[in-house]
């Protein structure tokens, strides 16, 4: 028996066959989308792993230089040297569509292109290790921004993969089997009705012949 009440008519049968065809086509498209999303997701995971290691190495080197600088310079001098930055950064964001997922793309630009603007101090009373720390931080900043972009993309793609997986399962294990069951039920009912109609017609024919010619068929 079908899970939902259906009227066993040819019109309903044709409608259900059309819905079944559409559901199967949608199921295939969603499976293809899920598989492609998974492939791209694994590429992003690999890139995330590489970027994370690169950022961690860069930050480790920068903090090592900063630790040496803080050991050489007094805390007051170190704080005063970094108190008023000369360079500023402008962050931009746009979106790229990846399999119907809008993943972010971050960009940044500095106020000017002079590399020396990353040093907000004079060089007379500061250590070379502080210069080295700021250089390493400036280099790692772009990688940090790309890492943030990749991790956000991973989150959005994982959510879309889960939604697509649920839709595929709903079609594969609920909607398509129910449609097939309803189609089978209506086909059986129509076949039964057709056989019943044939039997009734034969009986009517027998009755007509017997009445008209006193002849039993």
- For the beta carbon of residue 33, count every other beta carbon within 10 angstroms: 17
Number of residues written out for the chain:
217
81 neighbors 126 (Cβ within 8 angstroms):
yes
- Please tell me the least confidently modeled range out of 27-41, 111-125, 188-202: 111-125
Structure letter (DSSP) for residue 115 = G
10-72 and 176-213 helices, crossing angle to 10°: 180
pLDDT (0 to 100) of residue 129:
82
Listed residue (105, 86, 83) closest to 95, CA to CA: 105
118 vs 216 pLDDT, higher one: 118
Provide the pLDDT confidence category of residue 68 given band limits of 50, 70 and 90. confident
pLDDT (0 to 100) of residue 168:
96
- In three-state secondary structure terms, 89 is strand
Residue-by-residue DSSP string for 133-188: HHHHHHHHHHHHHHHHHHHHHHHHHHHHHHHHHHHHHHIIIIIHHHHHHHHHHHHH
For the chain, give the mean pLDDT: 84
182 neighbors 20 (Cβ within 8 angstroms):
no
Q: Does domain 10-208 have CATH number 2.60.40.420?
A: no
Distance CA 193, CA 29 (A): 38
- In three-state secondary structure terms, 12 is helix
pLDDT (0 to 100) of residue 169:
96
Provide the pLDDT confidence category of residue 217 given band limits of 50, 70 and 90. very low
- Whether this prediction's pTM lies above 0.85 is answered by no
Q: Which two tokens stand for residue 215?
A: 């002849």
pLDDT (0 to 100) of residue 128:
76
What would the pLDDT profile of 91-144 be if each residue is shown by its tens digit?
Answer: 888 998 888 889 988 887 777 666 556 666 665 566 778 878 888 888 888 899
């Amino acid at each position: 028996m079908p899970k939902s009440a259906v009227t066993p008519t040819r019109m309903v049968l044709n409608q259900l066959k059309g819905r079944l065809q559409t559901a199967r086509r949608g199921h295939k498209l969603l499976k293809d989308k899920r598989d492609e999303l998974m492939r791209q997701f694994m590429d992003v995971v690999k890139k995330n792993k590489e970027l994370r290691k690169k950022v961690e190495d860069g930050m480790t080197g920068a903090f090592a230089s900063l630790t040496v600088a803080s050991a050489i310079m007094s805390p007051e001098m170190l704080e005063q040297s970094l108190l008023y930055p000369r360079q500023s950064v402008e962050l931009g964001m746009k979106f790229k569509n990846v399999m119907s997922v809008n993943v972010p793309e971050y960009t940044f630009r500095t106020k000017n292109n002079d590399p020396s603007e990353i040093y907000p101090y004079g060089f007379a009373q500061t250590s070379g290790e502080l210069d080295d720390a700021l250089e390493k931080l400036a280099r790692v900043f772009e990688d940090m921004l790309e890492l943030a972009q990749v991790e956000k993309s991973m989150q959005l793609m994982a959510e879309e993969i889960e939604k697509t997986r649920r839709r595929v399962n709903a079609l594969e294990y609920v909607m398509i089997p129910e449609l097939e069951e309803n189609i089978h039920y209506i086909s059986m009912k129509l076949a039964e009705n057709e056989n019943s109609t044939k039997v009734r017609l034969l009986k009517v024919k027998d009755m007509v012949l017997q009445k008209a010619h006193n002849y039993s068929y």
